[in-house]
Structure 1
Amino acid sequence: MQQINKWRRLNGEKINMPIADEISNMLSAEREAGNELKVCIGTDSQVKGRVTEFATVIVFIRKGKGGFMYIHADSTLRKMSIKERMLKEVGRSIEVAYSLCNIFTRYNVDMEVHADINTNPNFRSNDALKEAMGYIMGMGFTFRAKPHAFASTSCANKIVH
Structure 2
Amino acid sequence: METQQETWQNMTGKIFRKPIIQLVEEAIILEQANGHRLKVCVGSDSHVYGDTVSYATAVVFVREGKGAFTFIRKERAVQRISIKERMLNEVNKSVEIAYAICAVLENYNVEMEVHADINTDPEFKSNTALRDAMGYILGMGYVFKAKPYAFASSNCADMMV
Report what 2:133 is aligned to: 132
Is the 1:2–1:18 contact (alpha carbons within 8 Å) kept by the matching residues of 2?
no
Cα displacement (A) at 1:2: 9.2
TM-score by length of 2: 0.95
Structure 2 segments unaligned to the other structure (5+ residues): none
Report what 1:156 is aligned to: 157
- Give the Cα–Cα distance (whole angstroms) in 2 for the partners of residues 111 and 10 of structure 1: 20
Structure 1 segments unaligned to the other structure (5+ residues): none
SS in 1 for 2:15: coil
Report what 2:86 is aligned to: 85
Report what 2:122 is aligned to: 121
RMSD: 1.3
- Give the Cα–Cα distance (whole angstroms) in 2 for the partners of residues 9 and 51 of structure 1: 23
Is the 2:11–2:160 contact (alpha carbons within 8 Å) kept by the matching residues of 1?
no
Between the two proteins, the alignment pairs up a number of residues equal to 159
Is the 1:3–1:18 contact (alpha carbons within 8 Å) kept by the matching residues of 2?
no
Cα displacement (A) at 1:3: 4.6
- Give the Cα–Cα distance (whole angstroms) in 1 for the partners of residues 136 and 47 of structure 2: 22
Identity %: 49
- Give the Cα–Cα distance (whole angstroms) in 2 for the partners of residues 128 and 134 of structure 1: 10
Report what 1:99 is aligned to: 100
- Give the Cα–Cα distance (whole angstroms) in 1 for the partners of residues 33 and 112 of structure 2: 20
Structure 1 moving runs of 4+ over 4 Å: none
TM-score by length of 1: 0.95
- For 2:77, the aligned partner's letter is T
